[in-house]
A and B are shown apart, each in its own frame.
Chain A
Amino acid sequence: MNYWNKYCECMEREELEKLQSERLIEAVERVYYNVPYYRNLMQEKGLMPEDIKGREDLNKLPFTTKDDLRENYPYGFFAVPLSEIVRIHASSGTTGKPTVVGYTRRDISIWSELMARTLTCGGATKDSVIQVAYGYGLFTGGLGVHYGAERLGASVIPISGGNTKRQIMLMKDFGTTVLACTPSYALYIAETMAEMNLRKDDFKLKYGILGAEPWTEGLRQEIEEKLGIVAIDIYGLSEIIGPGVASECLYKTGLHINEDHFIPEIIDPATGEVLPDGSEGELVFTTITKEGIPVIRYRTRDISSLNYEPCPCGRTHVRMQKVVGRTDDMLIIRGVNVFPSQIESILIDIGETEPHYLLVIDRVGNMDNLEVWVEVSEKLFSDEVRKLEELNRRIAHEIQSTLGLTVRVKLVEPKTIERSQGKAVRVIDRRK
């Protein structure tokens, strides 16, 4: 087992928690004295920095939400003068203004360290040829992986996303061993390879460092099989640091959170109450070493759980379960909570279904209607109408018995559902 920083990654829990407490105290002081937003909030609650004596006092502190960051657009959350900021990233801002984050030189250095850990955790070494097909630019994916891969000493191909055929040609010619991109783009690359009549043996790929969107075990298996790689899930968000918050090790049983820099909690998204270890709920992070934009109890809206059991890889850092959905992806259809990932799992369990699907929700009269579009793959297709109708019924039946929802299933031609080169679009909600 390779570690990038064995001392930090395999630290005894007791020592780790002591370090977290020390760093939390400093972080709270930093935001109290440097970020008026937090100071006002703490004063309203009658909290002084010295009231926080360690991680056990974390739940006295207020939450931070994406809306809070937006309302203080662009620099309201920065804890240092702009002259100390060496890099600015921003989220896509699909719903309103983007959220802006700034990094000091030290933040960039820590981020590179955490990404070097992530890449090592996922099988990369200084001998790897890493193709970074995450988008470069304001999105943290591309540059985050890039800096980590350079810190690791690997050979970096900074190709960014898109231009898939050229991407594949270079992957072959340059002997890429590690592909870093979103899972949906990895699948798109695999499909494009097949269209180009290329086989996985034509490539030297060994590992995929995939993240930035929720994905299922089924999709992982499909990517691993089609590209002939070990696919590793990584997790991050720009508000915390970008990629590098957590990463699976080669045991693939949860993602180790870099706990010497971030303290995770799981809360009930409805009440904000901290849930016991092992419960599923909304993931919350407090950054304890960030200088540019430290955040206190940031609500990620990602649904996960925490596992403190020791991992066979030797890392002591807590493992978060693969994100199962987002509190804001959650659809409420006829009063039933539905995550697109549930539908995806059902389709994969049915077997042979390429996980290309789209949920179309509509309101007819007062009734919500869910239509599930499923692309018919070659494996699934039959020249007999009866068999296709059977397939249709079976998908509808499985969804009904799992979710308790009657749905209409529509079989569609391949490539009907838009392929993304970034995040996958799985839902069209026409109810508004």
Chain B
Amino acid sequence: MKIKQISVFLENKKGRLAQLTRILKENNIDISAISVADTANFGIIRMIVSRYNDAMQVIKEAGLTVNTADVLAVEVSDSPGGLHYVLETLSQNDIAVEYLYSFVRRPSERALILFRIREIDEAIRVLSKNNIKILSPEEIYEL
């Protein structure tokens, strides 16, 4: 159920993001989802990519700081209240969301949202119990 997310530390400077995407392009690595958290000085790039291991290696070789975290890919109905239903379920069960972002492309009429949650196992249990679909790594990497 858990998806491997790659995060990269970048200074908030012109051209840094392009340098990262260039490395991925040159190694033929596809980005399925991406989000950028930025502060005045630095940014954190979070991504779901095809060929996770290769991606880690080429980013490290480029001398960037990179690490990984487990996230959940949750299918959300693409209609008013779709995301709200998921968040409400988590909230009622006292589970905090660190951050979330969505996929670059959609597999169907349903939206796909990535959740970073510290109590990830508890979240999996609660979401499954409420019939909210969590995609498996295989389903994600095949997108």
Contacts and interface: CB of A to CB of B under 8 A. Distances in A.
A383 B11 contact: no
B42 A383 contact: no
A267 B27 CA distance: 61
A388 interface: yes
B132 interface: no
A378 B41 contact: no
Contacts of B66: 378, 381
A195 B61 CA distance: 7
A416 to B, nearest CB: 7
A130 interface: no
Interface string A363-378: 0000000000000111
Interface stretch (B2-10, B82-90, B102-110, B120-128): B2-10
A84 interface: no
18 contacts: A195-B61, A376-B9, A376-B65, A377-B65, A381-B7, A381-B66, A381-B67, A383-B116, A384-B98, A384-B116, A385-B37, A388-B9, A388-B42, A388-B44, A413-B16, A414-B63, A414-B65, A416-B11
Interface residues of A, number: 18
Contact of B44 (A377, A383, A410): A383
B11 A412 contact: yes
Interface in A374-416: 376-378, 381-385, 388-389, 410-416
Contacts of B100: none
B67 A383 contact: yes
A388 B61 CA distance: 23
B131 interface: no
A415 to B, nearest CB: 5
A415 B5 contact: no
Contact of A383 (B5, B63, B64): B5
A413 B44 contact: no
Interface of A: 195, 376-378, 381-385, 388-389, 410-416
A376 B5 CA distance: 19
B4 to A, nearest CB: 12
Interface string B3-25: 00101011100001000000000
A413 B69 contact: no
B7 A413 contact: no
Given A381-B9, A384-B99, 6 more contacts: A195-B61, A383-B44, A383-B69, A385-B37, A388-B9, A412-B42
A416 B41 CA distance: 14
A412 B42 CA distance: 8
Among B10, B16, B46, B98, find the residue whose CB has the most chain A CB atoms closer than 10 A: B98
Given A383-B67, A383-B69, A383-B116, A413 B9 contact: yes
B130 interface: no
Interface in B19-55: 37, 39, 41-42, 44, 46
A121 B35 CA distance: 55
B41 A383 contact: no
A378 B9 CA distance: 9
B10 A413 contact: yes
A416 B9 CA distance: 12
A384 B11 CA distance: 15
Contacts of B39: 385, 388-389
A272 to B, nearest CB: 45
Among A377, A383, A385, A416, find the residue whose CB has the most chain B CB atoms closer than 10 A: A383
Contacts of A412: 11, 42
Contacts of A415: 63
A411 to B, nearest CB: 6
B11 A413 contact: yes
Contacts of B9: 376, 381, 388, 411, 413
B41 A410 contact: yes
B117 to A, nearest CB: 12
A290 B66 CA distance: 54
A411 B40 CA distance: 11
Contacts of B5: 383
CB-based closest 5 A-B pairs: A383-B7, A381-B65, A385-B37, A376-B9, A415-B63
Nearest to B7: A383
A195 B64 CA distance: 12
A388 B41 CA distance: 11
A195 B58 CA distance: 11
A335 B39 CA distance: 32
B20 to A, nearest CB: 11
A9 B116 CA distance: 63
A414 B64 contact: yes
Interface string B52-81: 000000000101111101000000000000
A411 B7 contact: no
A415 B7 CA distance: 18
A410 to B, nearest CB: 6
Contacts of B67: 378, 381-383
Nearest to A410: B41
A270 B72 CA distance: 63
Contacts of A388: 9, 39, 42, 44
Nearest to A411: B42
